[in-house]
Amino acid sequence: MLTIIISLVVIGAIVYYKRLRTVYSHWERRNVPSLPGYFPYGSYERRSDTKKFQGYAMDQFYYKMAKHKYFGYYEMRRPLLVVKDPEVLKLVLTKEFSHFRDRFTRPMPKTDPLLHYQLFILGGDKWRALRTKLTPTFTSGRMKAMFPLFVDCAQALNTLLWSQVGSAVDVKDVISRFTTDIICSCAFGLQTNTIAEPDHPLRKATADFLSNGDSLFFKIKFIVSMLVPFILPLSRFTPQEVEDYIMKLISDTVEYREKNQVTRNDFLDLLIQLKNKGSLREEGIAETEESFEVTLEVMAAQCFLFFFAGNETSSSVQSFCLYELALHPEIQQKLREEIQEVIRIHGGVTYQSVNEMKYLHMVVSETMRKYPTLPQLVRSCVEPIVMPDGGRVEKGDQIAIPVWSLQHDPQYFPDPDKFNPDRFAPENEGNIKPYTYLPFGEGPRMCIGNRFGLLQTKVGLITIIRNFQVLPCEKTSIPLKLVRTNNSLTTCEGPILLKLTSIEERS
């Protein structure tokens, strides 16, 4: 009996070893230049490399394969193709988009509806239909109509900041409360007032969703899904209590609006209209298995995406921006002078005045270059294609786009670690090589809410810089330490603590 058990173990080990050899020869068999992979960490040399901030980890590969336009590597057992040449990126993101339309090779399981039905994750005809229908939400006309709500939230932020003068302020927390109120007001018609009451259940739900990614159970699930990807449909990643809260919130709001015939011309209104139309089939397209009904689950998934993406990305950009302004008082003063002058001309903060603040746009653009919210984008090949150099990308191949590395590459952005808004001055913008600056992605799948995100980011910065000097304090971490997280966002270790001083006091 013992002999049989030993034999089975040996046979299993041999089969598994041969399978690993097959996995880690994926790019070699395809004659694609690649980094070697080994069990269990793939192309990472040691376990500590897998824990590095994603941008730093990719930099190691990016410069090691500097002479190649694209190259393969292994994320544990998963082979990925890194595209780093701007011309090839243009092909992937725009020119041959139909070949690289999806983000993921496998959909999230339907048992996890808040992720499965998200526009960010959907693929194929479902993504195309939903994207087409949701695009009108983010036109400049809609942004202008919503702007008074931005101003109301900014006034509440200003009141809070006056109470914080002279003390160390966790700017990420304060800005997150501000963006929460904007998104809830503009998108869902909810008056959350988290600026004054930070413990709102919606913020807690988001925090629980993010912290879930750092739990041991989630990490084990994530590792197993990487090593044995076919079990992914059996798993779920959203905590049940978060799903229950979001579903009830959206259900109750929709029911109230329909019962009382409430119309606000916001994001949720558009979803209600789509729900009542029955489906998201595009005009002229026959009904297929890809057509789908706009159910409560579909609506809740988009609302959760809008809140999570809009809140985390915008608050992150504003926090990093305030940090850099605190370290560069000359840039901060130049920005303040522009803000005060444009406001004086327009008699207040208006939609037009925000769009006329050119230096503000330069400062925000440089922040998104130095601290891209997503250090890496992914695309999935849905149809085989031959690359310009003769290389072949097959269906199912996953493409990694190294946003962090591109935006810190000195050949595209000289002295990349320096915070220099002048890179984005009108006279210098033409020097930026297309497809090397990708804070919102590019092509048909670029971020649908970029206008909304930029607007709330700028309004938040105007509110703070207009009235306050932002300074580093004894609790400010210099330099910031960026860390790897399971949500794949550019995140620093701990809070960003800065000090506010009244401009009135300084004068």
Q: Which DSSP string corresponds to 315-361?
A: HHHHHHHHHHHHH-HHHHHHHHHHHHHHHHHHTS--HHHHHT-HHHH
Q: Would you call 145 exposed, middle or buried from its count of C-beta atoms within 10 A (0-12, 13-18, 19+)?
A: middle
* Phi and psi at residue 69, to the nearest 5°: -75, -30
Rounded to an integer, what distance in angstroms lies between the CA atom of residue 411 and that of residue 432? 10
Cα first-last separation, the chain: 89
Rounded to an integer, what distance in angstroms lies between the CA atom of residue 268 and that of residue 251? 11
Report CA torsion sign: 479, 480, 484, 490: negative
**Helix 171-188 crosses helix 140-162 at what angle (to 10 degrees)?**
140
Among residues 305, 302, 306, the alpha carbon closest in space to that of 292 is found at: 302
Give the DSSP H/E element, type plus range, for residue 39: none
Return all residues near 501 (Cβ < 8 A) that are at least 6 apart: 165, 166, 468, 469, 471
The rounded Cα 36 to chain-centroid distance in angstroms is 29
User: Do residues 73 and 37 touch, judged by C-beta distance below 8 A?
Assistant: yes
The reply to whether 447 sits in an annotated binding site is yes
Query: With left for phi above 0 and alpha for psi between -120 and 50, is residue 199 left, alpha or beta?
Result: alpha
Give the DSSP H/E element, type plus range, for residue 482: strand 482-483
Distances from the Cα of 265 to the Cα of 55, 269, 270, 425, angstroms:
39, 6, 7, 36
User: Do residues 419 and 327 touch, judged by C-beta distance below 8 A?
Assistant: yes
Alpha helices in 371-495 (DSSP H): 403-407, 450-467
Return all residues near 479 (Cβ < 8 A) that are at least 6 apart: none
Angle (CA) 90 62 108, round 5°: 65
218: its two tokens: 């989630």
**Cis before 109? omega within 30:** no
Q: Which residues are annotated as a binding site?
A: 447
Q: Which residues are annotated as a binding site for heme?
A: 447
